[in-house]
């Protein structure tokens, strides 16, 4: 299947996880938005950028600690950094539940970092930017708890959606089915009305939702969530139900 094909919708119940990207939330309404999302999201996506791997500098381990004061949801850190070992240790120190490293700078220390994360009782993931093939992580793919596929160029919200990257999701699902790997498949980038159908057809396990798909839809998080659900249902033919998408009759 290519990223632009539209196969017949699979009529099987399926459960996915929703991971709001807190980099894109309205920090003026931080407590209100987190309190609302705590009852609906499955986990939180925390972008950590160092200003070198990508130009921006964003969230940090400190932000995770502050969010934990008002949320018990798991935190998934998406590292966009050049010095992965430095940041991995900081996230281990605060017991961040999922630590996802950029494959582009992790090869050479990947086995050590994955073992270090697992030894701390946490989960390890790798992130593949648009130009990075799945083959890059094959030597240690069996050790991963999550693989994140970027469908935009990293570092900024609002980048152009790269539909060709959805083929990696299909590839990863096939590898997992064939070999019994245990990783979850996450997609990150421009998850919104314009792309819900394409993304749903590729069938990732975790959807990272940001400004264009959630936080920027209306001025109120309650209304934005309802609009997101409506847009997904209308685009895909799946019904949203308490954190799950279930096929319609």
Contact 166, 199 (CB under 8 A): yes
Which of 47, 145, 201, 205 is labelled catalytic?
47
Residue with the two structure tokens 């996880």: 17
Which of 50, 145, 167, 188 is labelled catalytic?
188
Residues in the chain: 249
Residue 231, token pair as written in the block:
């847009």
Contact 235, 193 (CB under 8 A): yes
Mark whether 47 is an active-site residue: yes
174: left (phi over 0), alpha (psi -120 to 50) or beta: alpha
Cα separation, 162 vs 131, in Å, equals 10
Closest to 125 in 3D by CA, of 151, 103, 149, 144:
144
Assign 213 to helix, strand or coil: helix
Mark whether 226 is an active-site residue: no
- Distance from the Cα of residue 215 to its chain's centroid: 15
Q: For residue 1, give Cα distances in angstroms to 52, 128, 135, 136, 216.
A: 36, 20, 18, 21, 32
Active site residues: 47, 188
């Amino acid at each position: 299947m290519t990223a632009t094909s539209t196969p017949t919708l699979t009529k099987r119940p399926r459960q996915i996880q929703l991971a709001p990207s807190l980099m894109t939330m309205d920090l003026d309404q931080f407590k209100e938005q987190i309190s609302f999302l705590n009852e609906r999201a499955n986990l939180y996506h925390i972008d950590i950028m160092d200003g070198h791997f990508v130009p921006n500098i964003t969230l940090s381990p400190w932000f995770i600690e502050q969010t934990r004061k008002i949320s018990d949801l798991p935190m998934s850190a998406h590292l966009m950094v050049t010095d992965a070992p430095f940041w991995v240790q900081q996230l281990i120190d605060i017991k961040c539940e999922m630590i996802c490293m950029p494959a582009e700078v992790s090869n050479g220390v990947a086995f050590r970092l994955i073992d270090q994360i697992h030894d701390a009782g946490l989960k390890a993931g790798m992130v593949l930017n648009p130009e990075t093939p799945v083959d890059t992580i094959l030597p240690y793919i069996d050790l991963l708890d999550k693989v994140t596929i970027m469908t935009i160029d990293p570092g900024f919200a609002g980048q152009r959606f790269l539909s060709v990257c959805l083929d990696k999701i299909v590839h990863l699902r096939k590898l997992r089915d064939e070999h019994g790997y245990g990783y979850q498949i996450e997609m990150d980038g421009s998850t919104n009305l314009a792309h819900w159908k394409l993304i749903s057809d590729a069938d990732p396990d975790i959807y990272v939702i940001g400004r264009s798909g959630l936080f920027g839809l209306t001025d109120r998080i309650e209304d934005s969530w309802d609009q997101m659900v409506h847009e997904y249902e209308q685009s895909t033919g799946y019904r949203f139900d308490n954190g799950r998408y279930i096929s319609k009759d």
